[in-house]
Amino acid sequence: MSDVFPNQLTDGHNERQLALQSLFRTLEDNSEGTVIVDEQCKIVWINARHADRFGFKDPASAIGKVVEEVIPNSQLRDVLKTGQPILLDLMETPDRTLVVTRLPLKDPQGKLIGAIGFALFDEIQSLAPLVAKFSSLQKELAVAHESLAQARRAKYSFGHFIGECDAVLELKRQAHRAAQRDAPILLLGETGTGKEVLAHAIHAASPRAHKPLVILNMAAIPETLLEAELFGASAGAYTGADKKGRIGKFQLAHGGTLFLDEIGDMPPALQVKLLRVLQDKEFEALGSNQVQRSDVRIIAATSAPLAKLIAEGQFRADLFYRLNVLTIELPPLRARLADLGLLATSIMNKLAASGLGQHRLSPSAIALLSQYPWPGNVRELHNILERALMLSDRALLEANDLAPLLYPSAQPGHSTAKSHAESMQAFEQQLINEAIKNCKGHIPTAAKQLGLSRATLYKKIAGFKMEDTG
């Protein structure tokens, strides 16, 4: 008995060896191209047809080169890294798609010594439907990637931040310098002063410009969803969560910049988590205990009085100190009236390009605009000018064209013979004015008090044209 097994094993071994050699020969005979690399991924053998396909008339001239120098899309390096075969794959070459098989090569002791690639078909008519589907999916993916990348690119540079007064020149200088650093930036300023424009410009001028700029407005997302939105969620982490989980803004912004707008509205529990990312560059997705690392530059912005929020215990002092490394204050429009003409011209040029016709402001119109307190700042200026342009056919706008828009309740006959709609609007305007006054001009708090979303409140403010909110 004892000598039967060795013989059977030996025979089996031989047959296996024969089968392997035969399989190899069959593959090679049917192969449209074969390439073998050593453990450094350098080509040790390539057949003439395959070399010719990649522009090497003489296969000997490809020997010794790293494989990607000859076959740009080769995946043989992956086979060497993993030791695993890639049994069936499609590979793009300059003139066609090839069906390829890639196998690791091991010595008798099982040590990886190289890899071999076969191009099995280059006339892949039989696979045409599969390849067509593959190409169309690939095109769709490329379009989706491009539009996502577009969406995550900075839309503004410093040139878009209009203003030449001393305060703005100093602000741009500070922002330029801050862009080169990696520390967090805190942008402070009233609503509509251009914090978001500046955040885009900083990202565009930073070494991270070619990576994503991801934006999240703390006041625009319900508190319950904010953690998943920021840090992602593992599959089934919360009711209604995506089966595959959710990618958070921190992951999306990896390598780039994350702009956290209205940071003053961040719930306290998340403030702790953000502090940890700022300190240790680590976080966990919702429902996961796997620690992820993040290389993200934070730009935070707020129109809220942070010092007051800290005193009231609504904002963590330690987070504030972490964020308050490079702080830039954006002046309100009423404090930089020297730029009003420039801003108005730039806005009117943009409106002209959108089909509203070319207009100018008379000196009386500029004087009137200069007396107005601009609680909504540049956003409000844009809104007033747009409405004035829509209402007027004249190329030169006078104070008379603007006064009714700036001070609607001061117009003659304003309070008499109002329609129901006008009365309702006046009532709503008064309610909103009072809420904003009560909240000392802090729009997100006023929105909460009124039970409106911040975005709706902004729209209403823009629509009504608010009186001075103080």
In the complex, minimum distance from the CB of residue 306 to ligand ATP, in angstroms, rounded to a whole number: 13
**Number of amino acids touching ligand ATP (CB under 6 A):** 17
CB atoms under 10 Å from CB of 258, counted, come to 27
The type of residue at 204 is A
Across the chain, how many H-helices and E-strands are there?
19, 14
Pick the closest to residue 405 from 428, 424, 380, 425 (CA basis).
380
Among 379, 414, 448, 465, binds ligand ATP (CB under 6 A): 379
**Quick one: DSSP state of residue 354?**
I
- Under rule CB under 6 A, residue 75 binds ligand ATP: no
Least distance (Å) between residue 300 CB and ligand ATP: 12
* Distance between CA atoms of residues 248 and 175, nearest Å: 27
CB of 80 or CB of 343, closer to ligand ATP: 343
**Contact call for residue 378 and ligand ATP (CB under 6 A):** yes
**Distance spanning both ends of the chain, measured CA to CA:** 103
What DSSP element (H or E) covers 187? strand 185-188
* Window contacting ligand ATP (CB under 6 A); options: 203-211, 365-373, 375-383, 397-405: 375-383
* 203 contributes a contact to ligand ATP by CB under 6 A: no
* Token pair for 384: 């007033």
Taking the complex as a whole, the smallest distance from the CB of residue 404 to ligand ATP amounts, in Å, to 22
Rounded Cα–Cα distance for residues 247 and 84 (Å): 29
Give the binding range for ligand ATP (CB under 6 A) out of 30-38, 188-196, 207-215, 240-248.
Answer: 188-196
- Nearest CA to 294 out of 351, 249, 350 is that of 249
Among 79, 197, 348, 397, binds ligand ATP (CB under 6 A): 197
191, 219, 100: which is closest to 377 by C-alpha?
191
Q: Which is nearer to ligand ATP, 77 or 152 (CB)?
A: 152
Q: Would you give the distance in Å from CA 102 to the centre of its chain?
A: 36
Closest residue by Cα to residue 373 from 406, 409, 413, 414: 406
Identify the residue among 50, 53, 102, 195 touching ligand ATP (CB under 6 A). 195
Cβ proximity to ligand ATP: between 67 and 351 the closer is: 351
191 belongs to the binding site for ligand ATP (CB under 6 A): yes
Give the SS3 label for residue 336. Answer: coil
227 binds ligand ATP (CB under 6 A): no
Choose which of 59, 114, 194, 331 interacts with ligand ATP (CB under 6 A): 194
The CA-based angle 264-222-277, given to 5 degrees, is 55
Among 32, 122, 196, 227, binds ligand ATP (CB under 6 A): 196
Distance of alpha carbon 45 from alpha carbon 59, whole angstroms: 8
Give the nearest distance from C-beta 350 to ligand ATP in angstroms.
9
469 binds ligand ATP (CB under 6 A): no
Residues near 334 by Cβ (< 8 Å), separated by ≥ 6?
372, 373, 374
- State both tokens at 416: 């008499």
The label of the residue with tokens 């690639």 reads 117
Residue nearest ligand ATP by beta-carbon distance: 194
What count of other Cβ atoms lies within 10 Å of the Cβ of residue 109? Answer: 6
| Near ligand ATP by CB under 6 A: residue from 59, 117, 192, 245 | 192
CB of 436 to ligand ATP, least distance (A): 13
Measured from the CB atom, is 231 or 458 closer to ligand ATP? 458
- Residue in 33, 56, 122, 161 binding ligand ATP, rule: CB under 6 A: 161
Interaction mask 232-271, ligand ATP, x per CB under 6 A: -----------------------------x----------
Residue span binding ligand ATP (CB under 6 A) among the ranges 110-118, 132-140, 232-240, 377-385: 377-385
Choose, by CB under 6 A, the member of 31, 47, 75, 193 that binds ligand ATP: 193
Half-sphere exposure of 101 (CA within 13 A, CB side): 12
Region from 27-35, 84-92, 191-199, 201-209 binding ligand ATP, contact rule CB under 6 A: 191-199
Q: Rounded distance, CA 54 to CA 150, Å? A: 33
Does residue 386 belong to the site contacting ligand ATP (CB under 6 A)?
A: no
Residue 157 near residue 271, CB atoms below 8 Å? no
Residue 189 lies near ligand ATP (rule: CB under 6 A): yes
Using rule CB under 6 A, residue 383 touches ligand ATP:
no
Q: Is residue 165 involved in binding ligand ATP (CB under 6 A)?
A: no
Burial class (CB in 10 A: 0-12, 13-18, 19+), 111: exposed
Distance in angstroms (rounded) separating the CA atoms of residues 240 and 311 = 37
The residues binding ligand ATP (CB under 6 A) are 160-163, 189, 191-197, 261, 303, 378-379, 382
